[in-house]
Structure 1
Amino acid sequence: MKTIINTVVEEVSHVLTNVNEEEAIQFSNELVKAKRIFVCGEGRSGLMGKAFAMRLMHANYTVFVVGETITPSIQAGDLFVAISGSGETSSIYQLVEKAKKVGANVQLVTVNKDSSIGNIADGVLVVPAATKYRLPSEAPTIQPLGNQFDQSVHLLLDAIIISTLKEVSNEELRNRHANLE
């Protein structure tokens, strides 16, 4: 078991080490500028998106998860963050088109910068991990499906939030943590 854990940790470390710093900083800057943030993804990417949205809320951002019943309409100037390993998820593509039509800033988190969604996004943050498709250009992995991408996205987006916190204390974050649990 320890060998598997060590391999997974090494894989994710390798992916995160190879994230383009300028892309990560640009993505971080877009978060800081945004008045409202909308996050979407399908499957496990969607779960990573929800984790990201939750931590953004703790950090005092105004954030919504696309598809939830309390999510308002997106408006011009809002930030729309799409998470799609392949960059080809058809339902995400349709949402990106709608967001762009109203004038939202679309940022994609993906493996594939030259994807359908990447080609219409305002910015792309490439996570050089393996997806379920195992394309020749993707990182090697012992893990099934898109595990490596999902794990890397979770850690990367948490790190990006940390980079935006500056003077927010853990106590302030904890005060916004759920207390009905």
Structure 2
Amino acid sequence: MHLKQIIETVAEEVSSVMANVNEEEARHLSACLLSAKRIFVFGEGRSGLMAKAFAMRLMHGGFTVYVVGETTTPSIGQGDLLVLVSGSGSSSMMDALVRTARKAGADIGLVTTNRDAEIAKESASVVIVPAATKHRKETEPSTIQPLGNQFDQTVHLLLDAIIIFTLHQSKKHHSFEDMKQTHTNLE
């Protein structure tokens, strides 16, 4: 297979997965973002990198957002939203975070491939990303990519699309220039 074919195949795979995301689920996550007092994000591995990219764009859009595990992250509380990004939708760390967040009165948002995850049952918002994961279940789409690449790539684009939609729904719409002003100047 030539590199050009690989590039085209990867783009087609991600496009196909994006086309199968339930728009109402994505809209509901957007509504949760808009109503949250503060937003906390978490993911492990590459999913964690996608969560951090999401946090960065939310910050650029004027939201108060924190990455769980960073030293400057405050305690979560009533009116806050914890957004978890995970292909499997479960891990012992995420289970512990959900227990703490729920006890503090926060809502949970989950971006995952696994509708049956225990965390999904406790979440105010669940966005199912029908992508291939490292587990290669029969119900997952085929992919030429290793491990959870298809999920991670789709999540990145999907969360960016949700942010764009959310900013358009916001009462204080942030323009490109507004967002540029919040971009770091320490580089």
- TM-score using structure 1 length: 0.98
Matched to 2:186, the amino acid is L
Alignment deviations for residues 90-132 of structure 1 (CA, whole Å, 9 cap, x no partner): 2112111111111101010000011122122222110000111
Inter-partner Cα distance in structure 1 for 2:120 and 2:166: 24
Alignment partner, residue 180 of structure 1: 186
Alignment partner, residue 136 of structure 1: 138
Alignment partner, residue 87 of structure 2: 85
Q: Structure 1 stretches (4+) deviating beyond 4 angstroms?
A: none
User: What is the percent sequence identity of the aligned residues?
Assistant: 62
Alignment partner, residue 46 of structure 2: 44
**Equivalences, count:** 181
Q: Is the 8 A contact 1:83 1:110 kept in 2?
A: yes
Task: Provide the secondary structure at the position in 2 that maps to 1:68.
Answer: coil
Give the alignment of 1:81-160 within 5 angstroms. 81-160=83-162
Inter-partner Cα distance in structure 1 for 2:10 and 2:121: 31
Task: Provide the secondary structure at the position in 2 that maps to 1:157.
Answer: helix
Inter-partner Cα distance in structure 2 for 1:28 and 1:152: 17
Deviates more, 1:115-124 or 1:148-157: 115-124
Alignment partner, residue 168 of structure 1: 174
Q: Is the 8 A contact 1:27 1:107 kept in 2?
A: yes
Identify unmatched segments of 5+ residues in structure 1.
Answer: none
Inter-partner Cα distance in structure 2 for 1:62 and 1:148: 29
Task: Provide the secondary structure at the position in 2 that maps to 1:124.
Answer: strand
Inter-partner Cα distance in structure 2 for 1:12 and 1:102: 36
Task: Provide the secondary structure at the position in 1 that maps to 2:77.
Answer: coil
Inter-partner Cα distance in structure 2 for 1:97 and 1:123: 16
